[in-house]
A and B are shown apart, each in its own frame.
Chain A
Amino acid sequence: DVKVTQSSRYLVKRTGEKVFLECVQDMDHENMFWYRQDPGLGLRLIYFSYDVKMKEKGDIPEGYSVSREKKERFSLILESASTNQTSMYLCASSFGYRGVAGELFFGEGSRLTVL
Chain B
Amino acid sequence: GENVEQHPSTLSVQEGDSAVIKCTYSDSASNYFPWYKQELGKRPQLIIDIRSNVGEKKDQRIAVTLNKTAKHFSLHITETQPEDSAVYFCAASRPGGSQGNLIFGKGTKLSVKP
Residues from chain B with a CB closer than 8 A to the CB of A56 are 98
Q: How many residues of B contact A (CB 8 A)?
A: 27
Q: Are B106 and A90 in contact (CB under 8 A)?
A: no
CA distance A42 to B103 in the complex (A): 10
A21-69: which have CB < 8 Å to B? 31, 33, 35, 40-45, 48, 50, 56, 58-59
Interface size on A, residues (CB 8 A): 29
Closest to B49 in A: A103
Other-chain contact of A100, B44, B49, B89, B100 (Cβ < 8 Å): B100
Assuming the contacts A42-B107, A43-B104, asked whether A103 and B98 have C-beta atoms less than 8 A apart, the reply is no
CA distance A100 to B32 in the complex (A): 9
Leading 4 A-B pairs by shortest Cβ distance: A101-B93, A42-B106, A101-B32, A106-B43
Chain B residue contacts of A96, Cβ below 8 A: 100
- Contacting pair B44 A101 (CB below 8 A): no
Give A31 to B98 CA distance when docked, in angstroms: 11
Residue numbers in B under 8 Å from A109 (CB-CB): 43
- Tell me the chain A residues, 58-100 only, with Cβ under 8 Å from chain B: 58-59, 90, 94, 96-100
Task: Please give the distance in Å from A33's CB to the nearest CB on chain B.
Answer: 6
Cβ–Cβ contact A42 & B104, under 8 A: yes
**Interface positions of B from 87 to 103, Cβ below 8 Å from A:** 89, 93-94, 97-103
Enumerate chain B residues within 8 angstroms of A106, measured Cβ to Cβ: 43-45
B99 to A100, Cβ gap below 8 A?
A: yes
9 other A-B residue contacts (CB within 8 Å) besides A43-B44, A48-B100: A31-B100, A35-B104, A42-B6, A44-B104, A59-B103, A90-B44, A104-B102, A107-B43, A108-B43
